[in-house]
C-alpha cells in the first residue's frame, strides 16, 4: 500500500514548524517557540542548571579546605586525601560520554540523569563522613559521588547548549560558573566551622542539601527537539536580532551535525581533548594545592582560606565573563587568552611565595582562579559550534573525558611532583604545561568552514 502524497503534504502543512536547509546541507527546525515546547521561557533552562551546578560544586572546589580535618578524623595521610579527590575527578569526567550516549539513544532522559545523580551525590558525602577505611571512602565518594556529580554536570551543560544554539557563550559560561563560586560558603565552613567533633553532622547535612536541590531542579528538565532553532532568528541570514547576528558572525553554527565518529575523524575533537587534558590538569593542581602552599609559605589561615575563596569566586565569575566575551571576540581567541592567563598565574604564585607577599599571592590566586575555570565553558561552547547540537551530549562527553586524565596528574601525581621538586618546581611545571596547551588551542579550526565563511544561502524547504 503506497503512501498518499497529498496526505503527507497536508500533515506537513499542519506541523507547528518547518525545516529549512542551508547551503552546507544542515537542517534547521524553525517555527516553534520555547514556550510552545516547554510551556514557559527557555531562560528556566539556564537558571535551573545554574542552581544545580552550584549545589554540586562543593564536592570539588571546597574539598581542599576539608582535607586537614578529614585526615585527622579518619587517620588518612595527605596522599590518601589527594587520591580520593583524584578518583572523584576521574569518574566525574569519565561518566560524561556514556551518559551523553544514553541520553541521545533515549535510554536516559535529562530528568532521570539528574535524579540518579542527586542520590549518588548523597551517597558520596555519607561515605566521606562515615567510612574511615580509605578504600571504601574512595569507592563511596570518589567513584559513586564522582559519577553522580558527573551526571549532573554533563546534563546541565548540554541542556544549555541545546536550548541556546544562537548565543550559547554567555549562557554556558553563566551556568558553568555556578560549579565554582557555589562552593564559597562551604570553603569558609570547612576552614572555620569544621572539625573532628562535628564532621559527621556537617557532611551529612551537605549531602542532603545537594540531593534536595539537584532533585528539585531535575523535575523541570526537558531537551528541545532535534535540530530545533529559535523561531525569531533566521538561521540562514541571522536576521532578527542584532546581538545574536553579531555573535553568530563570530561563532557561526556548525556546517552540519557531526556524529562522534565523524567529529573524531576531523582531527579537531582529539585536539580539543589534548588541550583540555593539559589545561584541566593545571587547574586541578591549583585547586588541590593552593591552601597547603599558602600555609607552608607562612600565610595565616585567613589568607589561605581567602585565596581559595577568591579562586572559587573568580573561577566562577570568570566563566560567565569569558562566555560573554567569546560571543564578541570569537570562541577560539578567547580560549587561547584564558589558557595563557592560567599559565602566567602559576609563575606568579611562585613569585608571591618567594616575596612573602600576601596581597600578591591573592592577586595571582585571582588570576589562577580566572584562568582555571574559564576554559571549561569555552570547550563546552566550541564543541556544538564545531560539531552541532544533535550529538552534543556525546561529543562534549568525549572532549570533557580528558579531565579524567587531568585528575590523575593534577591531584595524585601532582602530590608526587611536590614531594620530589617542591612547590616551586611543581608550579613552574604547571605554568609550562599551560603554555603548551595554549599553543595547541591555536591549531583549532571549525570543520568544513573557512574563517570568513558565513552562511548566506537561501532557504530550501525539506518537508
Q: What is the model's pLDDT at position 327? A: 84
pLDDT in tens, 120-141: 999 999 999 999 999 999 999 9
Listed range (159-168, 380-389, 408-417, 427-436) with the worst mean pLDDT: 408-417
Give buried/exposed letters for 356-394 (b at 16+ CB in 10 A, else e). eebebbbbbbbbbbbbbbbbbbbbbbbbbbbbbbbbbbb
pLDDT-based confidence at 240, cuts 50/70/90? low
Helix axes 358-387, 268-297, angle to 10 degrees: 170
Q: What is the model's pLDDT at position 452? A: 45
Helix axes 146-163, 168-181, angle to 10 degrees: 160
- Does residue 14 surpass a pLDDT of 70? no
DSSP state letter for 454: -
Q: Residue 456 contacts by C-beta under 8 Å, 6 or more apart in sequence?
A: 23, 236, 237
Work out the end-to-end distance of the chain between its first and last CA atoms, rounded to an integer number of angstroms.
22
Q: Residue 402 contacts by C-beta under 8 Å, 6 or more apart in sequence?
A: 93, 272, 273, 274, 275, 276, 277, 280
Smallest CA-to-CA distance from 434 within 344, 364, 365, 363 is with 344
Residues in the chain: 463
Give the CA dihedral 406, 408, 409, 413, nearest 10 degrees.
Answer: 170
> For the residues 414-425, what does the mean pLDDT come to?
76
- Does residue 10 surpass a pLDDT of 50? no
Q: How far apart are CA 64 and CA 88, in angstroms?
A: 13
- Are the CB atoms for 248 and 162 separated by under 8 Å? no
Q: What is the model's pLDDT at position 455? A: 41
pLDDT-based confidence at 238, cuts 50/70/90? low
DSSP annotation string for 26-73:
-EEEES--HHHHHSS-TTHHHHHHHHHHHHHTHHHHTHHHHHHHHHHH
- Listed by start position, the domains of the chain span 20-447
Q: How much of the chain exceeds pLDDT 70, in percent?
A: 86
- Are the CB atoms for 282 and 413 separated by under 8 Å? no
Decide the pairing of beta strands 460-461 and 27-30: unpaired
Give buried/exposed letters for 258-277 (b at 16+ CB in 10 A, else e). bebebbbebebbebbbbbbb
Q: How far apart are CA 183 and CA 195, in angstroms?
A: 18
Q: How far apart are CA 396 and CA 378, in angstroms?
A: 11
pLDDT-based confidence at 239, cuts 50/70/90? low
Which grid coordinates belong to 142?
570518589
- Does residue 434 surpass a pLDDT of 70? yes
- Are the CB atoms for 454 and 299 separated by under 8 Å? no
Q: Does residue 386 or residue 328 have the better pLDDT?
A: 386
Give the CA dihedral 64, 70, 72, 74, nearest 10 degrees.
Answer: -150
Listed range (9-23, 32-46, 253-267, 428-442) with the worst mean pLDDT: 9-23
Give the CA dihedral 375, 255, 454, 34, nearest 10 degrees.
Answer: -70
Helices and strands, number each (H, E), in the chain = 22, 3
Q: What is the model's pLDDT at position 93? A: 87
Chain-wide mean pLDDT for the chain? 84
- Does residue 451 surpass a pLDDT of 60? no
- Does residue 9 surpass a pLDDT of 80? no
- Does residue 405 surpass a pLDDT of 50? yes
- Does residue 1 surpass a pLDDT of 70? no
pLDDT in tens, 197-208: 898 999 999 999
Q: How far apart are CA 119 and CA 140, in angstroms?
A: 12
pLDDT in tens, 250-272: 788 888 899 999 999 999 999 99
Domain 20-447 has CATH 3.40.50.1700: no
Q: How far apart are CA 281 and CA 63, in angstroms?
A: 16
Listed range (35-39, 131-135, 167-171, 450-454) with the worst mean pLDDT: 450-454
- Are the CB atoms for 375 and 325 separated by under 8 Å? no
> For the residues 208-227, what does the mean pLDDT come to?
94
Q: Residue 358 contacts by C-beta under 8 Å, 6 or more apart in sequence?
A: 299, 303
Can you give the pTM of this predicted structure? 0.80
> For the residues 425-439, what does the mean pLDDT come to?
90
Q: How far apart are CA 448 and CA 240, in angstroms?
A: 26
Count CB atoms within 10 A of the CB of residue 131.
Answer: 16
Listed range (180-189, 298-307, 333-342, 377-386) with the worst mean pLDDT: 298-307
Three-state SS annotation for 102-164:
HHHCCCCCHHHHHHHHHHHHHHHHHHHHHCCCHHHHHHHHHHHHHHHHHHHHHHHHHHHHHHC
> For the residues 178-182, what does the mean pLDDT come to?
86
Smallest CA-to-CA distance from 347 within 440, 254, 262, 282 is with 282
Q: How far apart are CA 323 and CA 338, in angstroms?
A: 11
- Does residue 380 surpass a pLDDT of 80? yes
Q: Which residues pair with 21 in a beta bridge?
A: 27, 460
Listed range (41-50, 130-139, 245-254) with the worst mean pLDDT: 245-254
Smallest CA-to-CA distance from 195 within 48, 372, 66 is with 66
pLDDT-based confidence at 16, cuts 50/70/90? confident
Q: How far apart are CA 225 and CA 278, in angstroms?
A: 35
pLDDT in tens, 387-403: 998 898 899 999 998 88
| Backbone phi, psi, residue 23, to 5° | -70, -15
Q: What is the model's pLDDT at position 243? A: 60
pLDDT-based confidence at 456, cuts 50/70/90? very low
Q: What is the model's pLDDT at position 460? A: 38
pLDDT in tens, 69-124: 899 889 998 778 878 888 898 899 889 899 989 988 889 999 999 999 999 999 99
Listed range (97-111, 232-246, 354-368, 392-406) with the worst mean pLDDT: 232-246
| Whole-Å CA distances, 136 to 28, 65, 453 | 49, 21, 54
Amino acid at each position: 500500500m503506497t503512501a498518499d502524497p497529498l496526505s503527507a503534504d497536508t500533515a506537513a502543512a499542519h506541523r507547528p514548524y518547518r525545516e529549512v536547509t542551508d547551503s552546507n546541507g544542515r537542517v534547521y527546525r524553525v517555527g516553534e517557540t520555547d514556550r510552545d515546547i516547554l510551556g514557559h521561557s527557555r531562560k528556566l533552562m539556564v537558571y535551573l542548571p545554574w542552581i544545580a551546578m552550584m549545589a554540586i560544586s562543593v564536592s570539588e572546589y571546597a574539598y581542599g579546605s576539608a582535607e586537614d580535618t578529614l585526615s585527622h578524623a579518619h587517620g588518612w595521610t595527605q596522599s590518601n586525601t589527594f587520591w580520593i579527590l583524584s578518583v572523584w575527578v576521574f569518574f566525574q569526567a569519565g561518566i560524561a560520554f556514556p551518559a551523553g550516549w544514553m541520553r541521545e539513544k533515549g535510554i536516559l532522559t535529562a530528568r532521570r540523569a539528574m535524579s540518579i545523580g542527586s542520590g549518588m551525590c548523597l551517597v558520596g558525602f555519607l561515605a566521606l563522613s562515615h567510612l574511615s577505611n580509605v578504600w571504601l571512602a574512595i569507592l563511596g565518594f570518589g567513584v559513586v559521588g564522582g559519577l553522580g556529580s558527573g551526571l549532573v554536570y554533563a546534563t546541565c551543560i548540554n541542556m544549555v547548549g541545546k536550548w541556546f544554539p544562537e548565543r550559547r557563550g554567555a549562557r554556558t559560561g553563566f551556568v558553568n560558573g555556578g560549579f565554582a563560586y557555589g562552593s564559597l560558603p562551604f570553603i569558609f565552613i570547612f576552614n572555620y566551622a569544621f572539625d573532628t567533633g562535628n564532621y559527621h553532622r556537617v557532611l551529612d547535612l551537605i549531602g542532603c542539601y545537594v540531593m534536595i536541590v539537584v532533585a528539585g531542579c531535575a523535575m523541570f528538565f526537558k531537551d528541545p527537539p532535534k535540530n530545533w532553532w529559535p523561531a525569531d532568528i533566521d538561521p540562514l541570514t541571522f536576521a532578527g536580532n542584532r546581538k545574536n547576528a553579531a555573535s553568530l558572525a563570530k561563532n557561526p553554527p556548525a556546517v552540519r551535525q557531526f556524529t562522534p565518529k565523524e567529529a573524531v575523524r576531523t582531527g579537531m575533537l582529539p585536539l580539543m581533548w589534548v588541550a583540555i587534558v593539559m589545561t584541566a590538569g593545571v587547574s586541578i593542581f591549583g585547586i588541590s594545592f593552593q591552601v597547603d602552599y599558602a600555609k607552608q609559605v607562612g600565610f595565616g589561615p585567613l589568607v589561605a582560606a581567602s585565596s581559595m575563596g577568591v579562586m572559587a569566586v573568580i573561577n566562577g565569575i570568570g566563566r560567565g565573563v569569558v562566555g560573554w566575551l567569546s560571543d564578541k571576540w570569537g570562541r577560539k581567541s578567547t580560549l587561547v587568552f584564558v589558557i595563557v592567563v592560567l599559565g602566567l598565574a602559576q609563575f606568579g604564585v611562585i613569585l608571591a611565595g618567594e616575596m612573602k607577599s600576601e596581597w600578591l599571592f591573592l592577586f595571582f590566586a585571582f588570576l589562577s582562579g580566572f584562568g582555571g575555570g574559564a576554559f571549561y565553558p569555552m570547550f563546552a561552547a566550541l564543541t556544538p559550534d564545531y560539531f552541532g547540537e544533535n550529538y552534543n551530549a556525546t561529543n562534549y562527553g568525549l572532549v570533557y573525558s580528558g579531565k579524567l586524565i587531568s585528575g590523575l596528574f593534577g591531584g595524585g601525581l601532582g602530590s608526587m611532583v611536590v614531594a620530589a621538586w617542591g612547590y616551586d618546581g611543581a608550579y613552574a611545571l604547571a605554568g609550562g604545561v599551560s603554555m603548551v596547551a595554549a599553543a595547541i588551542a591555536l591549531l583549532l579550526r571549525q570543520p568544513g568552514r573557512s574563517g570568513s565563511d558565513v552562511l548566506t544561502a537561501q532557504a530550501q524547504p525539506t518537508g
